């Protein structure tokens, strides 16, 4: 299916606005290598980046590699990461994936999205973040921020995050994906929060859709 000229034009304008507001896109999760990034991204599920960054220094002081992590018990990991939520499930996943990295990948995080997705607790979004932010491989991780904004900006029909990812990859140049997914997140957090805009209040939404009369509802991921 070909892309409409209006949608391509809108995507190009959005890209320009995002680049103006966020020319630099520092990675929000504190880490020192691919392993600590993987653990931080796993912990960020249903948790804020700020909270994760408060928790990981204590965890990484004890264990910042798979070899060190497996020396901790699941209970020890769980006690440290409890503020991030879902700690029983996340602690078990961290312990298990650390064993797998040692047994199968010589303690290294694989630079392969298929292999990453096979690790416990690592879904497509987490794997995409690691591929883009740790290894620089073009990927377009879709979280709730991006999914919502893509619908509000009419870049996708928003049936699910898989479709949103596919649509955005078609609309934007591949060499922009890694930076762009962060730019959209940053823009949503600062200017177009779910309760603060919903397609009617931020400057970008008002500029693109001046005739909207009521807040836009969106399909949750």
Active site annotation includes 111: no
Active site annotation includes 33: no
d(CA 26, CA 216): 30
Angle at 44 between CA 112 and CA 116, to 5 degrees: 15
d(CA 3, CA 173): 14
Report the first-to-last Cα separation within the chain, whole angstroms.
Answer: 23
Q: Quickly count: other Cβ atoms within 10 Å of residue 97's Cβ.
A: 23
d(CA 60, CA 16): 38
d(CA 10, CA 33): 36
Q: Which of 16, 30, 79, 125 is catalytic?
A: 125
Helix, strand or coil, per DSSP, at residue 205: helix
Q: Which of 143, 167, 169, 179 is catalytic?
A: 143
- Where in the sequence numbering do the catalytic residues fall? 125, 143
């Amino acid at each position: 299916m070909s892309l409409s000229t209006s949608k391509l034009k809108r995507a190009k304008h959005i890209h320009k606005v995002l680049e103006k507001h966020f020319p630099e896109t520092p990675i929000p999760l504190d880490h020192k290598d691919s392993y600590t990034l993987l653990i931080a991204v796993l912990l960020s599920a249903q948790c804020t980046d700020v909270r994760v960054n408060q928790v990981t220094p204590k965890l990484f002081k004890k264990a910042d590699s798979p070899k060190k992590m497996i020396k901790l018990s699941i209970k020890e990991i769980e006690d440290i990461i409890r503020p991030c939520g879902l700690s029983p499930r996340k602690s078990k996943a961290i312990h298990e994936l650390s064993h797998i990295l040692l047994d199968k990948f010589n303690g290294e995080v694989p630079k392969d999205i298929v292999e990453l997705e096979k690790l416990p607790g690592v879904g497509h979004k987490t794997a995409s973040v690691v591929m883009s932010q740790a290894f620089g491989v073009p990927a377009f991780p879709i979280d709730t921020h991006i999914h919502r904004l893509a619908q509000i900006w009419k870049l996708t029909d928003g049936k699910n995050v898989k479709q949103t990812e596919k649509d955005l990859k078609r609309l934007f140049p591949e060499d922009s994906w890694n930076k762009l997914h962060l730019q959209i997140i940053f823009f949503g957090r600062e200017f177009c929060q779910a309760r603060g805009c919903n397609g009617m209040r931020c400057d970008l939404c008002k500029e693109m859709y001046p005739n909207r009369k009521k807040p836009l509802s969106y399909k949750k991921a």
